[in-house]
Chains A and B, each alone.
Chain A
Amino acid sequence: MAEWLTSLRLRVRALLRRRQLEKDLGDELAFHMAMREDALRGGGDAAAHVRTRWRFGNPVSLREDLRELWSLAPRLGSLARNVRFAARTLATRPGFAVTVVLTLGIAIGATTAMFAIVDAALLRPFRFAAEDRLVAIHEGFAQVHIDQLPFGALDFEDLRRLQQSFSAVAAYRNVALEMSGNGRPERISAAKVSPELFGLLGVAPLFGRTFSAEEGRPGVNVAVLSYALWRNQFGGDRSILGRAIHLDRQPYTVVGVMPAGFVFPRRGAQFNGEPADLWVPLAFMPRERLERANGMNNSVIGRLRDGVSLEAARAELGVVGRRIADAYPPVVIRAGFSPALSATPLREEISGRVARPLWMLFGAVGLVLIVACANVANLMLTRAIRRRHEFAVRRALGARRVQLVHLLLGETLLLAFAAGALGVALAYWAVKAAPLVLVRTVPGVQDLAIDYRVLLFTVLVCFATAVFFAIAPVPALDRRDAADTLRDESPRTASQHHVQRAFVVVTVTLACVLLAAAGLFLRSFAALMSTDIGFRPSQVIAASMTLPRTFYTTADSIRSFHAALSSRLSSIPGVKRAAIATDLPLTSYDSRAFTPEGGASTGSALLTTNLSFVAGPYFETLGVTLAAGRYFDSDEHQTIRNVVIVNERLASVSWPGQNPVGKRIKWGPAASPNPWLTVVGVIRNVVDGPVGAVPGVHAYEPFRQFPDFFLNGAPNQFGRDVKALVLTDRSASDIAPLVRQQISELDPELAVESLAPMNQQISDAVAPQRFSSMIVAAFAGVGLLLAVVGLYGLLAFTVGQRQKEIAVRVALGAERGAVITMVVVQGMRLVFWGLLLGMAAAVGAARVASSLTYQSDPLSVAAFAIIPAALIPAALLACAIPAWRAARLDPVLALRAE
């Protein structure tokens, strides 16, 4: 310990008196040599001076070693010197440095941005306590092919009472609440949560408190705010505690504010995945607790008790599920609704669905980085070969191999970190632009940032590339040919040729893989865009609202709102039609079990269908094609006539090969007391899930048939969703303000959640696919560009090196055409091998990628044709320029240029 301190003191002193140290080292060795020389001369040695030198060895190198001993951080001292030297060397050839920094910078930038996304979505912790003990719990009805659903109220209460495996379970659901009294009324994303949720997650409020157990009952109006809402809406004022805010026109008392960075629910979950700005206690209404297999909208999260494994918890949930099933009425069980419980680790529930595509994109960007590295390695090799003379001199003067590597390392570190800085700047810009597209599909992306984790990753990448580039040219520095080099004009060793060619083949191969992936993604995106969505979205504008339960308390109030809104919207000049529905194409639906009269027998399992309620000329407004029968008439919108319109899928599932018009269906099993509904029309399938997915079975009822029971303050929000559609011949930007104005005149406090052309909603719905296609295509473009530039670089360099040989050939009468052919063949041979390997690798890559794309046959010829089609012309161009230059070579000038 004392030794360590002494040496630190001495080294610091040496650092402060660097000049003195330098003089001392020189003097000490000079003194030694002088003494030796004196002694030899005294002994009568005539060649004393030479002999002393001979015996002493290289005093410069010894001095260097000693200086190294005295430097504060021995390795870094020389590294810093090398970096300074490298900066000076590079400054003499800025073209080289700029090429390397740009090539690497773009690749590192793309890798960094992609890592930021992967980190945000898959790696960054949720900031909950011991989050690996958190699990999402679902119900499912295997018989009707529903794997996972949120819980119904009664089932959740049973689970909470019966389970032993979890230290706590909590239910929550997203609600959109109208916040008013604070300027323009606004719909905010909120969540109703069991009071125990915050304790279960292990997150304390920033100040104030969370909910107490007694607050989980109806009529307790308290709220906890998110940090963002507190900051943006309430100016970060701590006196907000105890104050009242208005939610759905009711006063709520603010009891606490959560810390920044607390995000719950998490985006990415199958259900209730909308991050909330505000939390209120979840209390089940008496109506929610009436029926089983109904009102299933409560997501459940649990924390595993200490020492209980996930498997044990799953086993116990199996038992609990059977006990819950015992409480179900036999008629419901017979209808196929026998619940089973399942548990998924929270991380998997949130990130599981995006993990594969994201890792694949990360892999693609990794390939781009490798291509860039191979290119830069080739540049480095070329440069090392140009500098062989310098290195040979250094070696002859006694520089060791490792010192040369250090010299190169100084250079590559400088280049890699310059590239890293450029890359981080690019990535910063990229992530600023990305969230708009990504935020709705990838969990965690709302707080995408270039933070210390991402920077650490970039630094590691820079180090790895720097070390790789420093070592790559080492074989070119072998001492064996140092003597040849000094004599100059030694032929290049074959091994360098091989290395450089191999790098070009590698870049071409990887570019092929990237091109294949791009081909698959673009083709699948094109297929997606050309799918029949079943309606005409152009010229249709849709507005979404939710009628607050506290204000629209009765079915009549809702129905008269519909009527008033319809007539107001139809009266807008330029609006041809207006209609109202409970949901829109592409969005979520209520789902029901049904029985078709005289239909196909399905054994014990019941059929299920999506269900929408419509008011006014809904199908005509959306431009949905009628396949058979007719649309609802105005009488059916006024009076309950028990009619239904079904899509072709429902018709073919229920009555294959028969005319469905006039047939009847009933909600629930045949024995249920629900009325039979007569099919009056059949429409073409309208896309109702993700674009490109097979449209589901779908039924439409007039809103008049919506049971009053559910509208009179029932917990189900479904009937309170109002989607207003207008068909117009004017532009959306003209009509949208008028629509908003009409809504606001009708109910000044009602918040409009969204108001956008249907076209845009469709383009938003395919945004993730468009995003991945664009990214992969961009990666492929960069990969191809780099491969071609690398090929060009190698050929240009070889032609330069072989100038004399080519000149001799031309002088001896070789045709210019033959020279061109020679160079082009040399280049295209590499392309051929790259293409061959690349196609083989692409077949493998395609199998991975195809599982992630829409309707694509991984080995489709069209997707693969893109590879040679893009590569060969580009490669020919890259060969042609150096070939043309070689052919233009003036033999006289070239031979004289000694």
Chain B
Amino acid sequence: MGTDQERPADLLQGTLELLILRTLASGEKHGYEIAEWIHAASADALSVEEGALYPALHRLELRGLLTAEWDVSANNRRAKYYRLTPIGRRRLKEITDSWRRTSTAINRVLEAT
């Protein structure tokens, strides 16, 4: 997490949305958990900045893809937990499919001789 680490890959516009939705597919989480989960799941390759994460979360909430509820966390602090809505779940499926198609296509191009 220090500045001396290798610079994580820049998150493409819209990709953060996909990552957040995917993270929440396995159940409700608060903001810190989401950041950590992405970091761990990407084998430390991706690091989400707070300055990008929270605006993205709130935007998704305002669009109705997530709902949020305040609850008490494991260590007894007040935390805001985010959960996918049915619309969010549908949207996750759509953009996952579209992402797969795109990345397959790009891979094909890269491997073409």
Contact = CB atoms under 8 A, between A and B. Distances in A.
Contacts of B61: 10
A27 interface: yes
B62 interface: yes
A226 B51 CA distance: 70
Contact of B62 (A31, A57, A62, A69): A69
A56 B50 contact: yes
A51 to B, nearest CB: 8
A70 B54 CA distance: 12
Contact of A62 (B30, B50, B70): B50
B100 interface: no
Contacts of B108: none
Interface in B52-102: 54-55, 58-59, 61-64, 70, 73, 75, 77-80, 87
A426 B77 CA distance: 62
Contacts of A28: 31, 54, 79-80
A3 interface: yes
Interface in A14-68: 24, 27-29, 31-32, 34-36, 38, 40, 55-57, 62, 65-66
Nearest to B49: A57
Contact of A70 (B62, B64, B75, B79): B62
Given A31-B77, A31-B80, A34-B77, A6 B62 contact: yes
A36 B36 CA distance: 10
Contacts of A716: none
A31 B64 contact: no
B1 A7 contact: no
B68 to A, nearest CB: 9
Contact of B54 (A2, A35, A38, A62): A62
A11 interface: yes
Nearest to B77: A31
Nearest to A3: B63
Contacts of A57: 49-51
Contact of A69 (B35, B49, B59): B59
B101 to A, nearest CB: 24
Contacts of A31: 30-32, 73, 77-80
A3 B90 CA distance: 13
Contacts of A11: 62
A629 to B, nearest CB: 98
A3 B64 contact: yes
A494 to B, nearest CB: 37
A653 B58 CA distance: 91
Counting chain A CB atoms within 10 Å of each CB, which of B30, B55, B64, B70 scores highest? B64
A7 B63 contact: yes
Interface string A760-803: 00000000000000000000000000000000000000000000
B78 A6 contact: no
A782 to B, nearest CB: 50
Given A31-B73, A65-B55, A7 B62 contact: yes
Contacts of A40: 1
A7 B67 CA distance: 12
B1 A55 contact: yes
Contacts of B51: 57, 62, 65
A735 B95 CA distance: 96
A66 B80 contact: no
Interface in B30-53: 30-32, 35, 49-51
B32 A70 contact: no
A321 B95 CA distance: 77
A677 B5 CA distance: 117
Nearest to A2: B64
B73 to A, nearest CB: 7
A834 to B, nearest CB: 50
B87 A70 contact: no
A56 B62 CA distance: 23
A588 B30 CA distance: 91
B55 to A, nearest CB: 6
B62 A35 contact: no
A6 B65 CA distance: 10
A70 B87 CA distance: 20
Contacts of A70: 58, 62
Contact of B78 (A10, A27, A32, A36): A27
Nearest to A36: B32
Contacts of B31: 28, 31-32
A88 to B, nearest CB: 29
Contacts of A35: 32
B32 A7 contact: no
Nearest to B50: A56
Nearest to B2: A51
Nearest to B91: A3
B20 to A, nearest CB: 14
B88 to A, nearest CB: 11
Interface in A554-572: none
Interface string A168-181: 00000000000000
Contacts of A29: 50, 54
Interface string A444-472: 00000000000000000000000000000
Contacts of B63: 3, 6-7
A735 to B, nearest CB: 83
A11 B64 CA distance: 12
B75 to A, nearest CB: 8
A234 B77 CA distance: 82
A367 B12 CA distance: 51
B58 A66 contact: yes
Contacts of B1: 40, 55
A46 to B, nearest CB: 14
A554 to B, nearest CB: 91
A515 to B, nearest CB: 57
Contacts of A2: 64, 87
Contacts of B70: 24
A6 B68 CA distance: 13
Interface in B4-33: 30-32
A62 B52 CA distance: 9
Given A6-B64, A57-B51, A32 B58 contact: no
Contacts of A24: 70, 80
B62 A10 contact: yes
A711 B39 CA distance: 109
Contacts of B59: 69
10 contacts: A6-B62, A28-B80, A31-B30, A31-B73, A31-B79, A62-B50, A62-B55, A66-B54, A69-B58, A70-B62
Interface of B: 1, 30-32, 35, 49-51, 54-55, 58-59, 61-64, 70, 73, 75, 77-80, 87
Given A69-B62, A70-B62, 6 more contacts: A2-B64, A6-B64, A27-B80, A31-B79, A31-B80, A57-B51
Please list the 3 inter-chain residue pairs (A to B) with the smallest Cβ-Cβ separation, ordered nearest first.
A6-B64, A35-B32, A7-B62
